Amino acid sequence: MTFYDAVADLDWNRTGEEIYRKTVSDVEQALNRHNPTIEDMKALVSPAAENYLERMAWQSRTATQKRFGKTIRFYIPLYLSNACLNHCIYCGFNHSNSIRRVILSDEAIKNEVKVIKQMGFEHILLLTGESPVHAGTDYIEHALQLVKPYFQQVSLEVQPLSTEDYMRLQKSGLHGVYIYQETYNRNRYTHYHPAGKKKDYKWRIETPDRLGCAGIHKTGLGVLLGLEDWRIEAVFLAMHLRYLEKKYWKSTYSVSFPRIRPHEGSFQPDFHITDKQFAQMIWAFRIFDNDVEMSLTTRENSVFRDNMISLGITSMSAGSKTEPGGYCQKEELAQWTVNDNRSPEEMLKTIAQQGYEVVWKDWNDFFNPIQYGKI
């Protein structure tokens, strides 16, 4: 059984009704429970919890510091390709959009790595559009082999692959895979993904199961905020997280909450989420799961990111470019518009001013040292 089977009988609208029926008493019970349940999560993201945000923020901060200390882990994305066969209506890489398609060569990848290494990063996230012909498993494996000698951790955010492909990539140094469902609303999923392999809801939602079977160290989950009701998305995401933690308990997990940003195309989100509501979602997840890592990207503005440093987030990107070759060029081929343009140095100072420390490396790898190459 996969997560697809586990939630096959759940009704999206009924779940929403259950969330909106939660009371102040339900919220208080959730905040006082040692091991929160999915029903508690429904209460924590409900409108009834809006009068408890200060307490939620305090509990989130306390739980995060107890588990992770006063640290923020830095990572940086490296876009390898914007070639994509999908027609996601919210994405700048949409196959129908008139942008120049780029697949980075070996030399271009090495040039990007050179710039990133000068910034000090040790965690890198490799991304592509979903185009198996132009950037399939062979290309991804080769890119991993090129990049791995220079970084302690290399993760992927690419098209869903088979269990066998993930096992193959793990041999080339793959640490983690981030795969966002975008929306858990099965009835509306094809509206946002009308064509391309991503149209297959079952194939995508079962990807974390394949990662678990392959023994990948870390799996990243997330939803794209703005497509559907964020409260219902949060509950389904929490159910997915809880399911994976129980079934594939040897793996570690992270969640991310990207909000739709301006991009090539005309799509406008139907479900706006305010900063206050976004904060509620973050704090609810931390109270629900004290151990899960949570990341916040440069999609968010600097004020919001600064406020979240001490309130639940454990990792952040900095100095990000969202176009292939973006660290070495000025031309915009971006998947989405960056909202926080501060350099890693500026972010480091901001984090330090709050009494937090930036983590550039993973100490587990440090105690099993790898001989890093020189560019």
Confidence (pTM) = 0.93
Tokens at 124, concatenated: 């890198």
Q: How high is the pLDDT of residue 119?
A: 93
In the chain, how many H helices and how many E strands? 17, 9
Residue 364 has pLDDT above 90, yes or no: no
| 67 found inside a domain | yes
**What Å distances lie between residue 372 and 149, 360, 365, CA to CA?**
5, 15, 12
CA-CA distance, 285 to 312, in Å (whole number)? 9
For the ranges 172-181, 251-260, 271-280, 366-375, the lowest mean pLDDT is seen at 366-375
pLDDT reported for residue 265: 54
Which range has the worst mean pLDDT, 12-16, 64-68, 139-143, 359-363?
A: 359-363
Mean pLDDT score of the chain, rounded to an integer? 92
Parent domain of 272: 3-366
Backbone angles phi, psi at 98, to 5 degrees: -90, 75
Tell whether 318 is covered by a domain.
yes
Tens of pLDDT, residue by residue over 287-341, are: 999 999 999 999 899 999 999 999 999 999 999 998 899 999 755 555 556 789 8
Q: List 75's β-bridge partners, or say none.
A: 317
Map 273-315 to HEC letters. Answer: CCHHHHHHHHHHHHHHCCCCEEEECCCCCHHHHHHHCCCCCCE
Dihedral sign (CA 182, 186, 188, 192): positive
* pLDDT value at residue 372: 41
Q: What is the pLDDT of residues 26-78, one digit of tens each?
A: 999 999 999 999 999 999 999 999 999 999 999 999 999 999 999 999 999 99
**How far is residue 349 from each of residues 12, 88, 300, 310, measured CA to CA in Å?**
43, 37, 18, 14
DSSP state of 294: E
Give the chain's length.
375
Let me know if residue 162 belongs to a domain. Answer: yes
Q: Assess contact for 156 and 176: CB atoms under 8 A.
A: yes
Q: Which two tokens stand for residue 366?
A: 């440090």
Residue 321 lies in a domain: yes
Which helix (H) or strand (E) segment holds residue 60: the answer is helix 53-68
- The confidence band for 149, taking pLDDT boundaries of 50, 70 and 90, is very high
Give the rounded percent of residues in the chain with a pLDDT score beyond 90: 83
Q: Is residue 371 in a domain?
A: no
- Residue with more model confidence, 246 or 269: 246
Angle between helices 275-288 and 230-247 (to 10 degrees): 20
Distance between CA 300 and CA 210 in Å, rounded? 31
| Cα–Cα distance, 224 to 260 (Å, whole number) | 7
Residue 191 lies in a domain: yes
Q: 239: domain CATH number?
A: 3.20.20.70
pLDDT score at 145: 97
Q: Total domain count for the chain?
A: 1
Report the distance separating Cα 204 and Cα 22, nearest Å.
Answer: 31
Sign of the Cα pseudo-torsion (150, 155, 157, 158, in order): positive
Q: Does the pLDDT at position 263 exceed 80?
A: no
pLDDT digits (tens, 9 = 90+) for 96-105: 887 889 999 9
Query: 192 pLDDT exceeds 60?
Result: yes
Q: Is residue 130 part of a domain?
A: yes
Nearest CA to 78 out of 52, 110, 46, 48 is that of 110
Q: With 50 as the cut, is the pLDDT of residue 1 above it?
A: yes
Whether residue 172 is predicted with pLDDT greater than 60 in this model: the reply is: yes
Tell me whether residue 375 is in a domain.
Answer: no
Comparing 81-90, 118-127, 177-186, 354-363, which segment has the lowest mean pLDDT?
354-363
C-alpha–C-alpha distance, residues 179 and 128, integer Å: 12
